[in-house]
Every structure is written in C-alpha cells, then in structure tokens.
Structure 1
Amino acid sequence: MFTGIIEETGELCEIKKGTLSARIKIRCRKVLERTKVGDSIAVNGICLTVTSLAEDGFTADVMAETMRRSSLSELKVPGKVNLERAMAADGRFGGHIVAGHIDGTGTVTEIRQEENAVWYTIASEPELIRYIVEKGSVALDGISLTVAKVTDGDFQVSVIPHTRKETALTEKKAGSMINIECDVIGKYVEKLLSAPKETKKESRITENFLMEHGFF
C-alpha cells in the first residue's frame, strides 16, 4: 500500500522490451534505502516488484497486462518517473490510500498557470470519471492530488509549486498520457452496493435493535 506522496523522481535509464512485456532499470537513490529484492516500489503509480538492486538503482519486470493498461508503454529513455516505496507500518499517511493498481489512463488536455498553482485538465473514459469526486482524492502517476472540478468527460487538479518540483509532472504536456488510480474506497462501496440481492445477507441491525441499545 502507498500514500501518493512521492519520495523522489528517478531516471528511467533502460527498457528491454519483449513481445508484450518489458524489463526496466531506474536510476535513483532515496528509495533504495532499506529496500530488498522482492520489495514493492510504485513507479508512476504502478506497484512493481524489485527484481535486482545496484548501488545506483533497481530493475523491475513489467508484465504484458501492465504495459497494455498503463503509460509505461510510452516511456522513453531517458525519462523521469515518480517513485514511492510501500508505506511502512509506522509511517504517516500524508496522502490517501493508494494501492498501486491503476484503473486506467487519461490524457492531459490543458495545462494552465494561475499565480503560484498550475491547473491540469485530464480527459478520460466515463468508466473512470464516475469514480472521480470533486474535493475527493485521485492518484495521477502515483501522486496523491485533490480533485478540484469534474465534468462528464474530464476533471481538473490544481498543483502547488512544491509538488511540481518534486515529481515528474513537469514532464507532462498537452497530449501526454497519465496513469489514473481512483479512490479505492469508492470502488469497494460500489461493489458492495451492487451485489445481487441473493448474495446479500439480511442485516440484523434494525430500528428496534438500535433503540434497545440506546441509540435513540
């Protein structure tokens, strides 16, 4: 599990592509601290397993499904990527719950400066937009951001200078692809509410039960 607070930007220094999959090498420093082979690191919001370590970076395998459904397929060498280690049990939750399993991608359609902030407009499919909530959270390339505005076809986030400086958002231009992970809580709530009636268990919590136990 991740928080969407980027620890550092790494440099994509090698991509070895197979027919559908790939192996990538990333040059970095901070996220190597206490990291072991087999640990998870989110790369642009995608949870990848460290397959080998070096003094100046790590490698990870990217399966075909990940290449198909994420912006990793468009990465080029050299390129900047957002990096975050899996959250330690005693860490602070500075962002929101991020699984590292993206729901899909969007396209940056506009980048606009407003004094000290920069607005990004992201267009995506209705299947993803339905989970985007104004003033809710979204992870873009692994960055925990607050949604400022939502329409039927896109949404906007406003980014402070610190976030731009510490992430690879500065690499994005109009037309760039970006990874989107919607708030996992909303997806689970929808799943539970949409379960077929025959699979739902009747709740034993009734109005009488609540009255008997002092809730009214």
Structure 2
Amino acid sequence: MFTGIVEEVGEIVDVVAGEDSARLRVRGPVVTSDARPGDSISVNGVCLTVVEPSDGEFGVDVMGETLRRSSLAGATAGSRVNLERAVAAGDRLGGHIVQGHVDGVGTVVERTEHEQWTTVRFRVSGHEDGGAGLTRYVVEKGSIAVDGVSLTVTEVDDETFAVGLIPTTLRETTLGERAVGSTVNLEVDVVAKYVERLVGARLGGQDTGTGQGK
C-alpha cells in the first residue's frame, strides 16, 4: 500500500521489451536506499516488484496486463517517473490509501496558471467501462491518484475532472511537466469501488466492479 506522497522523481534508464511484457531499469537512489528483492515500489502510480536493486537503481518486470492498463506501455529510456516506497506500519498517512493498481489512463486537456497554483483538467479514458464509467468513482473534494500522486478533486463531470497543484507538487513530481496531451495513470479511491459493489449486491446482486484483478 502507498499514500500518494512521492519520495523522489526517478528516471527509466533501460527498457527491454518482451512478447507480452517488459523489463524496466529505474534509477532512484532514495527509494533503493533500503530496497530488497521482492519489495514494492510505485512507479508513476503502478505497484511493481523490485528485482536486482544495486547502485541506486532497480529492475522491475511489467506484465502485459499492466502495460495495457497503464502509461508504462510508452515508457522509454530517459522518461522521468514518480517513485514511492510502500508505506511502513506506523508511518503517517499523508495522502490517501493508494494500492498501485491503475484503473485507467487520463489525458491532460487544460492547464490554467494562477498566482500560487495551477489547475489541471484531465479527460478520463477507462479501459473497462469508458471514461464516464470511471468518473462515477470521482467526487468533488475526494481523493484520486494521478501518476501516483495523491490529489484532491476540485471539479468533476461525466468525462473530466480537475485538480489544483501547489508549487511543491509542481516542483517535486512529474506533474509539473505534464503538458496538454500528456497521458497519466489514474487510480480512483478504492473505498468508492467497495461501497458500490456492496450496495449493488444489496440492490440486486449485480457485479458493478471494474473487473480488474491486478
């Protein structure tokens, strides 16, 4: 489990594509300072398992399912990524509960600069239900993870939602670099999905979940 509080911006240094998978090598001296094989690290919001950590870098194997559901399919050497280690028991939960199980991708459609913050609007493209299906889990003042960053929703409609980014977020995550047209990973609040499934079962036994088994 993660909190959506990015520890550092790392860099993908190598990508080896397989038939339906990929092996990535990621540079991240902070998150690898105590990393061991089998540990979990969030890479742009995707929970991946560490293999071969050494010299401030770590390898991860990405299966086809993850490539199809996230923006990691387009990862190349030199890509900058948000990194966060799994939360330790007893740590402060500074963001919200983030599983690292990406629900879909979104596209930046608008950036509005203000004096002390930036408003960014994303169009949602769910992989299972379509955009409108995924935004049913997004509520104003609720939480959402964008490329692994815990953010508060300021506006939402059937296809888009907006967030406000403070200077610290713009500076210390990759979201400051996301221009109009950029693709991001999205993870909605898991509590909303559980509530929908439980309520749906009581109202008629319909399976209203997103059908993801990641």
Taking structure 1 as the reference length, the TM-score comes to 0.89
Look up the match of 2:195.
189
> In 1, distance between residues paired with 2:174 and 2:181?
15
What secondary structure sits across from 1:32 in the alignment? coil
> In 2, distance between residues paired with 1:65 and 1:168?
24
> In 2, distance between residues paired with 1:30 and 1:40?
14
Does 1:148 pair with 2:154? yes
> In 2, distance between residues paired with 1:34 and 1:152?
42
> In 2, distance between residues paired with 1:198 and 1:137?
28
- Give, in angstroms, the shift of residue 133 of structure 1: 0.4
Look up the match of 1:212.
none
Find 1:163's aligned residue among 148, 165, 169.
169
What's the C-alpha RMSD, in Å, of the aligned pairs? 1.2
Larger radius of gyration: 1
> In 1, distance between residues paired with 2:189 and 2:89?
20
> In 2, distance between residues paired with 1:184 and 1:148?
19
> In 1, distance between residues paired with 2:166 and 2:203?
46
- Give, in angstroms, the shift of residue 28 of structure 1: 1.2
Look up the match of 2:107.
107
Name the amino acid aligned to 1:107.
T
Summarize the Cα distance change of 1:39–1:111 in structure 2 as closer, same or farther, 3 Å threshold. Answer: same
Structure 2: runs of 5+ lacking an equivalent:
125-130, 206-214
> In 1, distance between residues paired with 2:202 and 2:18?
41
Look up the match of 1:210.
none
Name the amino acid aligned to 1:182.
V
Look up the match of 2:33.
33
Identity %: 49
Find 1:129's aligned residue among 110, 131, 135.
135
Q: Which runs of 4+ in 1 moved over 6 A?
A: none
What secondary structure sits across from 2:201 in the alignment? coil
Structure 1: runs of 5+ lacking an equivalent:
200-216
